[in-house]
Amino acid sequence: MSTAIEQPTDSELRALLAQLKLPEKLAMLAGRSAWETHAVDRLAIPSLRVSDGPNGARGSDFFNEKTAACFPACVSIAATFNQALTRRVGKALGQETQTKGSYVLLGPTVCPHRSPLGGRNFESFSEDPLLTGLMASEYVRGLQSERVGATVKHFAVNEQDTKRFTVNETVSDRALREIYLRPFEITVKNSSPWCIMTSYPKVNGAYVDAQPTFIQNILRGEWGFDGLVMSDWGAVSNSFDSIKYGLDLEMPGPAYHRGVETLTKGIEDGLLDIKSVDDRVFALLKLLQRTGKFTDRREAVTEEAVDNPEHRALIREAGGEGIVLLKNKENFLPINSKKVRRIALLGPLAKTAAAHGGGSASLNSHYRISPYDAFKARLGSDVEITSSKGAHIFRAYPDIAAGLVSDAGSGFTATFFSSANFSGNSFYTKLFPVGNLISIMDDKATGAKAIRFKATYHPPKSGNHYLSFSGIGPSKLYIDKVLVSDQTEQTKDAMDYFLGVQDEARFQFSFDSAKTYDIIIETTQPPVKNCDLHLMEDTIGAHLGFIDQTEKETDLLAEAVELAKDADIAICFVGNSTQWETEGQDMAAMVLPADGSQDALIASVAAVNPNTIVVNTTGVAVELPWLDKVSAVLQAWYAGQETGNAVLDVLLGEVNPSGKLPISWPRKYEHTACYGNFGLDSYDSLQVEYVEGVNVGYRHFDQQYGTDKEVLFPFGYGLSYTTFELSDATISGNLSGASDLVTVSVTVANTGSRAGSETVQVYVAPPKTDSANGRPPKALATFTKIFLHPGEKRTVSAGFGRDCIAYWDDQNKDTGKWRVDVGAHEILIATSSRPTDTKARLVLEIAEGFHFAP
């Protein structure tokens, strides 16, 4: 929201900086708490609260937070290829962030998708650096129009999550510049984000904050970034060099590397200079200025759950526009509900709204519309809707929830002790509503060595139900004072545990719904460090999972097949859960979980019902062994809290699908350029080499065209319920100077019977003589999206500059420069990156080659 209140000028901020005492300055170089910066009351300098994450403002609690709006994941936003829509999403996220009393949102993520096994790919936009940078720029513009700072992350080279705290990634300068730094460069230069977040891994032998290359030389020196650079949570690697090389703020607080005493001693010993300290503090003051914290936003705001109807509508619109129609045999879709008597909704995600991935993107949505919810609400009175889960895909048993009551409310009351043997008085209590019991980043829990969780359990249903139990440290589970599970050792990896990947004890317990049961869990801190991230060192936690006996023992596959036999249409809702696709871990294989159960479900259903539709909810490509057996396939990504409505809008034709793949979809993981050099391949060695160089995504698959490794679905691909024709392509302009622009125009006609949108993609192929430079066959230069009614025809234009045809010259003695080569550059106007989808070819002749500085 705009304001007329006058903000302090930069010179006034400098004057304020001069009034700060050294201990005050040093304290401001790290967070005060998990989500807040330090205030200096003496000078009326306020604190600033930040919030995760890229698809919704979660607030300051990881597990028991107030509800929040859940927007589509960034990969879903990228699939819209709609920059205007992306800006609207950013603006709405800015408004959402304010409801949580925060004025900086920790997003967007812009690291390119290097592999389909990337556990955090869904958080980022695309494999293509240009698409990523342009979409991120609009996200940032929208967010900051609400005076809420964007935090572009993770700078840099944070493409894998396996061993991300300690792995060393070897990347060529050229790949860095053309692929991995490029989205950051575009976003910084186009939209001036107020914050950048650094990454965890080592890059070419050193952490980002322990070398001058990234923050000092490139980000600030070359690109002119004038905002604040903060660490990812726990990503500061040292006390002094990180300040020297430009990392402004260590997060979270309290300080780990940047304690006031440590820094004071560093100054005394000549390891740290005052100018570097002042530069870092000024960046924080500047952020306070930009977000209005010195004026109308000075006072802390209580976090609220505000369910905005306009945001509901936007989430549904964006979710629907991001859905990609991958297959539509004989125009089977859209569904004509007037001709359908019975629909079977099958699969583990039929009654579950897979709104988001795991980790920082997780949040407590205001609500979640599952596909089943949407079908029942809209079609239930006219069409018989049946449903079966068809397969279990849990990795850890779901949290126990229903029937828990404690002194503090519904759930477990947690009592925190400062001694590991539970002696003495407790110092803090907290309510945990479900069986996910963990103390991470709770400032009030600081100093705890043990926690006792208590609840009275009222079983909703009798049965010999299935339980699972585990703890980060040694843990015990008592039911009615009887020890039923005793974990004597600590867990292998506290971070994996935090993200839902537990090695659990699993057993059955007979419950009578007419009785109540006292449940007590006692868990202690791990006696030995069991995580590479220091934030987890003091974390205590336990998990109690539950599955109803009937649900666990039912033959779900047979049940689903029987429903499919009797249905006019069978729709399989499959995909990943937050336990399988999450920050902190990469996937082991490019397949649906678990143990082939979902693939078997689809194949079995298709065998008995030829009218089978598959709706896949993942943030990545997966193998589709049943593709030839089904009538239609939709890629739904993580579409946010309105996911069920968004999917049904497309299935019924109320929304004509216009999503395009922002990734390449391989047939097999073995066909990717990074095969053998990603994720779990580096688990023991702690080394990963970016062997493919610049050949990422379609840049690699273009070279496999016509072979058995050809991509299944190409980058930029997506079907529609209508048809389009492109004609009369023209080109104007030339490139040499920084302000020069080439404009490509083409006429697009809707030749079908439905209104719809087409995305015109413009690629540039380098001169044929450039093959010696190892350049990929082509690269995306620009794109534009147009909506047309049936029979409508319009001319659209899109432009690009020299950056889009240049490459990083690592062969010339004049290193550190971009290069545009002399010769004929072919301009390809296309509807996907597949060569057969090129609709026109033009030529851009560069009369004389030239270099230019970053």
Q: Which residues are identified as catalytic?
A: 232
Q: CA-to-CA distance for 618 and 611, rounded, in angstroms?
A: 23
Nearest 5°: the CA angle 195, 141, 12 is 55
Q: Which two tokens stand for residue 763?
A: 């690629």
Q: Which two tokens stand for residue 713?
A: 């679905």
CA distances from residue 827 to 129, 232, 705, 732, 830 in whole angstroms, order as listed: 18, 40, 19, 12, 10
Cβ pair 412, 438 in contact under 8 A: no
Backbone φ/ψ region at 358: left (φ over 0), alpha (ψ -120 to 50), beta: beta
Q: Which amino acid is at 113?
A: H
Closest CA to 483 of 465, 514, 507: 507
Closest CA to 430 of 446, 445, 447: 445
Cβ pair 746, 795 in contact under 8 A: yes
Q: Which two tokens stand for residue 261?
A: 């005493």
Cβ pair 673, 709 in contact under 8 A: no
Outline where 594-633 has alpha helix (H): 597-608
> Which residues touch 74 (CB under 8 Å, ≥6 apart)?
54, 55, 107, 108, 109, 122, 123, 124, 125, 135, 139
Is residue 143 classed exposed, middle or buried when 0-12, 13-18 and 19+ CB atoms within 10 A define those classes?
Answer: buried
3-class SS at 189? helix
Q: CA-to-CA distance for 334 and 323, rounded, in angstroms?
A: 14
Q: Which two tokens stand for residue 3?
A: 């304001």
Q: Which amino acid is at 190?
A: N
Backbone φ/ψ region at 189: left (φ over 0), alpha (ψ -120 to 50), beta: alpha
Helix (H) or strand (E) holding 368: none
Q: CA-to-CA distance for 741 and 746, rounded, in angstroms?
A: 17
- Asked, as a colleague might, if the bond just before 334 is cis with ω within 30 of 0, I would say yes
Q: Are strands 404-405 and 742-750 parallel, antiparallel or unpaired?
A: unpaired
3-class SS at 509? strand
Cβ pair 260, 27 in contact under 8 A: yes
Q: Are strands 517-524 and 475-479 parallel, antiparallel or unpaired?
A: antiparallel
Cβ pair 127, 664 in contact under 8 A: yes
Neighbours of 258 (CB within 10 A): 27
Q: CA-to-CA distance for 226 and 220, rounded, in angstroms?
A: 7
User: What is the number of residues in the chain?
Assistant: 854
Q: CA-to-CA distance for 756 and 560, rounded, in angstroms?
A: 34
Cβ pair 656, 753 in contact under 8 A: no
Q: CA-to-CA distance for 610 and 596, rounded, in angstroms?
A: 21
Q: Which two tokens stand for residue 468?
A: 């699972």
What is the distance, to the nearest Å, from the Cα of residue 214 to the centroid of all Cα atoms in its chain?
Answer: 23
Cβ pair 168, 205 in contact under 8 A: yes
Please provide residue 16's backbone torsions phi and psi, each rounded to the nearest 5 degrees: -65, -40
**CB burial readout 401-428, b (16+ within 10 A) else e:** eebbebebeebbbbbbbeeeeeeeebeb
Neighbours of 691 (CB within 10 A): 15
Nearest 5°: the CA angle 803, 806, 811 is 140
